[in-house]
Copies of this chain bind each other. A is one copy, B any other.
């Protein structure tokens, strides 16, 4: 792989630009190409967070990452993106891919890395997760001493959600979005809804914490995480 570029997955943290690490700043400033995921409307949360450290003359590579559940279009999109990144790496250019939160914690980086790792050198700069930002915002411990902490995507069906709650002392339900009602119903059935908090944009400008039972179904925040602890810290 002599002469080839390195593919860096760079965690930019949960939202507050001050939660970038020193290493993330350094890699972003030095990269030959800055890649980042963009949503359907063309904006990139990861790029926004890092914007203060992105050089004015940076060579940028926005990557449209599909949010759809259907797998085949997503695969084709990742294949195409990996091809574009690979071209830069083969030409000897280092590519930094900006990741919201941490690159290997429920993001898109791992799907690109899986397509590139057999041929290219990969380095990962871990970042502060949105989960740590939620805990910091709410002053809720994620885990202490012998606690089991489960991190559960709200996309699971009711039975899988119910099963994932069992045996955990603390639970973080991520990607709540349009799954709010289903998740609340499962938490109510488990007797946990009254203890649950829902957090929006933790560490960002619109940070908001609400008791789950104070949120109406129509007003449930889309980008949100639910935190619940089964009991007190011991």
Contact = CB atoms under 8 A, between A and B. Distances in A.
A84 interface: no
A175 B111 CA distance: 29
A7 to B, nearest CB: 11
Interface stretch (A33-41, A57-65, A123-131, A215-223): A123-131
Number of copies: 2
A127 B19 CA distance: 8
Interface stretch (A20-28, A183-191, A192-200): A20-28
Nearest to A149: B151
Contact of A23 (B19, B26, B105, B106): B19
A22 B18 contact: yes
A29 to B, nearest CB: 13
Contact of A139 (B113, B141, B168): B113
A107 to B, nearest CB: 8
A30 interface: no
